Amino acid sequence: MKKLTFLAAALLMCSSIITTKLSAQPAAANTNEINKNKIEKVTKDDPKDQNFMDRYFGFKDSYPALKSLSGSYAAASCTKQKFVERYNAIKAAYPNLRNSFDNYAASDYALEIFAKRYYEIKDTYPTMSKYFGDYAGSKKTLPEFIMRYNEIKDSAKDLTEYYGQYAASDNTLPEFSARYYGIKDSKTGMEYGYGEYAGSTKKLSK
pLDDT in tens, 101-145: 999 999 999 999 999 999 999 999 999 999 999 999 999 999 999
Q: Are residues 35 and 98 in the same domain?
A: no
Question: How many CB atoms sit inside 10 A of residue 100's CB?
Answer: 24
The answer as to whether 175 is a domain residue is yes
Return the pLDDT at 195. Answer: 96
The answer as to whether 205 is a domain residue is no
Distance CA 50, CA 59 (A): 12
pLDDT at 19 over 80: no
Q: pLDDT digits over 37-96, tens only?
A: 443 443 345 666 689 999 999 999 999 999 999 999 999 999 999 999 999 999 999 999
The answer as to whether 7 is a domain residue is yes
Query: What one-character-per-residue DSSP string does 105-143 give?
Result: HHS---HHHHHHHHHHHHHH-TT-GGGHHHHHHSS--HH
The answer as to whether 107 is a domain residue is yes
Angle among Cα 178, 137, 57 to the nearest 5 degrees reads 60
Q: Are residues 70 and 37 in the same domain?
A: no
Return the pLDDT at 46. Answer: 62
Q: Are residues 53 and 24 in the same domain?
A: no
Return the pLDDT at 37. Answer: 46
The answer as to whether 204 is a domain residue is no
Structure-model confidence comparison of residues 30 and 182, the more confident one: 182
Q: Are residues 93 and 155 in the same domain?
A: yes
Number of domains the chain contains: 2
The answer as to whether 206 is a domain residue is no
* Chain centroid, CA 39 distance in Å: 18
pLDDT at 175 over 70: yes
> What is the domain range of residue 111?
49-199
Q: Are residues 28 and 59 in the same domain?
A: no
Q: Are residues 120 and 61 in the same domain?
A: yes
Residue 178 amino acid letter: A
Burial of residue 82 (CB within 10 Å: 0-12, 13-18, 19+) is middle
Q: Are residues 133 and 107 in the same domain?
A: yes
Q: Are residues 128 and 41 in the same domain?
A: no
pLDDT at 28 over 80: no
Structure-model confidence comparison of residues 3 and 52, the more confident one: 52
The answer as to whether 128 is a domain residue is yes
The set of residues, in sequence order, having a beta carbon less than 8 Å from that of 67 and lying 6+ positions away, is 59, 60, 191, 192
Q: Are residues 164 and 114 in the same domain?
A: yes
Q: Are residues 195 and 139 in the same domain?
A: yes
